[in-house]
Amino acid sequence: MSDIGYYARRYPLGVAGAIIMTLFVLAAIFAGVVAPLDPFTTNAKASLAGPSGVYWMGADMMGRDVLSRLIHGARVSLAVALGATMIGSGVGAAVGLACGYVGGWFDLLVQRVTEIMQALPLLVMALVITASLGPSLRNTIIAIAIPLIPTVARVIRSNVLSLRELPFVEAARATGMSEWRVAIVHVLPNTLAPLIVLATAQLGSTILTEASLSFLGLGVPEPYPSWGRMLSESAAEYVRTAPWLVIYPGLAISLIVFGSNLMGDALRDALDPRQRD
């Protein structure tokens, strides 16, 4: 408990970010219980109904409850963010470990490929991949995960390059361990701290990218509730007559990205030895 209090005092913004993320995660897990209405049920009589005792955040053009769709939309956003981050970080860590430890022509070739991939912004590459694969939940995760690989690979590679020459690695080699066993048992665990920080920092960008893809009609298709799709359906036509259709989805996206960034920054400072007293 004393450690928790210490970190809470030292990183108050990180605690605020963690609280925001926890609320969204709980809402996503218990969406079926927390949501007041069915997010898929339409009601023509309630079309564009304003916030009331029945529809706390109003209803959309099809009479669906905005609050319920926002809560269930958290499932989609977090599923895409976690799936893409885990795939991108896992593949990127494996590539970075191989490049940093093996080196030679393999490292040279892979680094040129990652530089080409990094020349394109995340959203642009995700758009190209999604347009090629087609809109679906699985394809959206894949389209966002692939552009994450080069960044993770380069960060892990730089850590491996500094670790592989340290005395404890030389001692492991001297005991007769194979090179790959040394890499996996001794080098890889020491890269987990920057990997965790990087993965946490990327959550916000993946959520924002998913919302952008859904806004453009290339992300998660109907009937899944998606914050970006909710904005695209209402931003142009109903922004004046029914502003709640734009305000609440935009606020949800802003809050979860803000929370993930705050938590990522605090986690980076906590795990960085240079930031400690």
Both tokens assigned to 100: 């940093």
- Tokens representing 10 are 């030292």
- Quick one: which of 96, 68, 48 has its CA closest to 245? 48
Residue with tokens 């190209």: 128
> Which of 248, 245, 244, 255 lies closest to 207 in space, CA to CA?
255
Identify the bridge partners of residue 65 per DSSP, sorted by sequence position.
59
pLDDT value, residue 273:
54
What is the rounded distance in angstroms from the CA atom of residue 180 to the CA atom of residue 249?
Answer: 47
Under CATH, which number does the domain 82-275 receive?
1.10.3720.10
| Domain locations along the chain | 82-275
For residue 92 the two structure tokens come to 């990127």
Q: What are phi and psi of 112, to 5 degrees?
A: -65, -40
What's the alpha-carbon Rg for the chain, to the nearest Å? 22
For the chain, 277 residues long, give each residue's pLDDT as a single digit of tens: 556 666 677 778 888 888 999 999 999 999 888 888 888 888 888 888 888 888 888 888 888 889 999 999 898 888 888 999 999 999 999 898 888 888 788 888 988 888 888 888 888 888 888 888 888 888 889 989 998 999 899 988 888 888 877 788 778 777 877 777 887 877 888 888 788 888 887 888 888 888 888 888 888 777 778 888 888 877 677 778 888 888 898 899 999 988 888 888 887 777 665 555 5
What pTM was computed for the model?
0.84
Q: Which tokens is 49 given?
A: 């109904």
**Are 133 and 143 spatial neighbours (Cβ–Cβ below 8 Å)?**
yes
**Distance separating alpha carbons of residues 211 and 226, to the nearest angstrom:** 7
Vertex 54: Cα angle to 227 and 34 (nearest 5): 55
Residue type for position 215: F
- What is the rounded end-to-end Cα distance, in angstroms, of the chain? 20
